[in-house]
């Protein structure tokens, strides 16, 4: 049932016209990964390569993410990956508030269907959106990255682990060590919680 729900959701996203981004996209980028999935990664928005392929994180930032996952023994096919908006903003500009709001229902449905144990928002916008969704105070990514935050009493088993966006490494090389350490901490969390990760193909 969940697989069918995901397919239906992806079809809805592919033809969505809720905001102006639908006018300039080549492909919508719903996201991909196993359902259910213990780990749920959330980026900001598709870039050029994602827009062309319809897949999330297949450009330079995707390569960084795959490398970071490999350092903790994971492949991208064992985690769910998506973004807060599903279509590329022109010239890779920052998504606008109304565009983020237009996609909000899609992201909430994906989280519900995927039933993760750990949400990993990557970057400032994703962290702000996730914290706002669960009624948590907004804390700058520079202060909250690499720290475990529980979503709240109504979601007792769901935790949030913000990290810098992988693209930040390409723009700000000194962050490479920071995001590496955050992913090492994520790997330790996975072990401590005994999370069972399954491949998308299973």
The pLDDT, as a whole number, for residue 28 is 98
Give the pLDDT score at 136: 93
Predicted pLDDT at 170? 85
Measured CA to CA, the distance from residue 13 to residue 172 in angstroms comes to: 32
Tell me, what's the pLDDT at 154? Answer: 57
Q: What torsion do the CA atoms of 113, 119, 125, 71 make, to the nearest 10 degrees?
A: -120
DSSP 64-80: HHHHHHHHTT--GGGSE
Positions of the chain with pLDDT under 70: 153-156, 198-202
* Tokens at 83, concatenated: 């973004």
Q: Mind listing the domains of the chain with CATH numbers? A: 2-193 (3.40.470.10)
Angstrom distance (rounded) from CA 1 to CA 20: 32
Q: Which helix (H) or strand (E) element contains residue 105?
A: helix 97-114
pTM over 0.85: yes
| pLDDT at site 202 | 54
């Amino acid at each position: 049932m969940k697989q069918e729900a995901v397919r239906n959701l992806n079809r809805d996203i592919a033809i969505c016209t809720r905001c102006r981004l639908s006018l300039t996209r080549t492909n919508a980028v719903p996201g991909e990964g196993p359902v259910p999935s213990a780990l749920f990664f959330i980026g900001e928005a598709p870039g050029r390569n994602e827009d062309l392929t319809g897949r999330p994180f297949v450009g330079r930032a995707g390569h960084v993410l795959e490398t970071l996952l490999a350092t903790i023994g994971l492949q991208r096919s064992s985690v769910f990956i998506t973004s807060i908006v599903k279509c590329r903003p022109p010239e890779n500009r920052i998504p606008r508030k109304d565009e983020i709001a237009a996609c909000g229902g899609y992201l909430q449905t994906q989280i519900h269907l995927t039933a993760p144990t750990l949400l990993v928002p990557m970057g400032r916008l994703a962290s702000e959106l996730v914290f706002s969704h669960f009624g948590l105070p907004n804390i700058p990514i520079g202060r909250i990255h690499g720290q475990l935050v529980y979503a709240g009493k109504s979601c007792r088993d769901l935790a949030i682990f913000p990290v810098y966006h992988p693209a930040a490494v390409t723009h700000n090389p000194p962050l490479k060590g920071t995001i590496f350490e955050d992913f090492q901490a994520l790997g330790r969390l996975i072990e401590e919680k005994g999370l069972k990760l399954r491949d998308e193909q299973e």
